[in-house]
């Protein structure tokens, strides 16, 4: 068992599940989505990205790309939330944008977890 793969897989799955936890709920009701869970999803995604930096394979490059996409979208979601909270005001349009941007990150995390699982199943012992 490779400890690096265990830790990397742990953070990939943790990033996916916290992202889903934030995304799940009515996209027009911001109270159903925790800012702390969004923050945790950002942190876990950044840690997962760091673990993917050392992989020099083609699969590692795709995993890194999906992780970077998720990072950018989660940071964009938090930025829209900050803009809505402190600059332009929280409207239903801003709330929906926050949740839908995090939904894009969720898709990237699903792709990443699927590729990671497929690469693990394909690898030889």
- Rounded distance, CA 113 to CA 67, Å? 10
Global pTM value? 0.90
Domain residue limits, the chain = 3-122
* pLDDT over threshold 90, residue 121: no
Percentage of residues in the chain having pLDDT higher than 70: 98
* pLDDT for res 93: 92
Q: Note the residue count of the chain.
A: 125
* pLDDT for res 40: 96
- Rounded distance, CA 1 to CA 70, Å? 28
pLDDT: which is higher, 125 or 104: 104
Q: Are 74 and 48 in contact (CB under 8 A)?
A: no
């Amino acid at each position: 068992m490779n400890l690096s793969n265990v830790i990397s897989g742990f953070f990939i799955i943790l990033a996916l599940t916290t992202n889903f936890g934030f995304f799940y709920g009515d996209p027009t009701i911001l109270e159903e989505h925790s800012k702390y869970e969004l923050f945790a999803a950002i942190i876990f995604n950044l840690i997962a990205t760091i673990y993917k930096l050392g992989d020099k394979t083609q699969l590692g490059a795709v995993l890194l790309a999906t992780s970077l996409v998720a990072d950018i979208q989660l940071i964009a979601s938090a930025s829209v939330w900050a803009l809505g909270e402190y600059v332009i005001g929280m409207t239903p349009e801003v709330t929906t944008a926050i949740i839908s941007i995090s939904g894009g990150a969720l898709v990237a995390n699903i792709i990443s977890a699927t590729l990671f699982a497929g690469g693990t199943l394909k690898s030889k012992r």
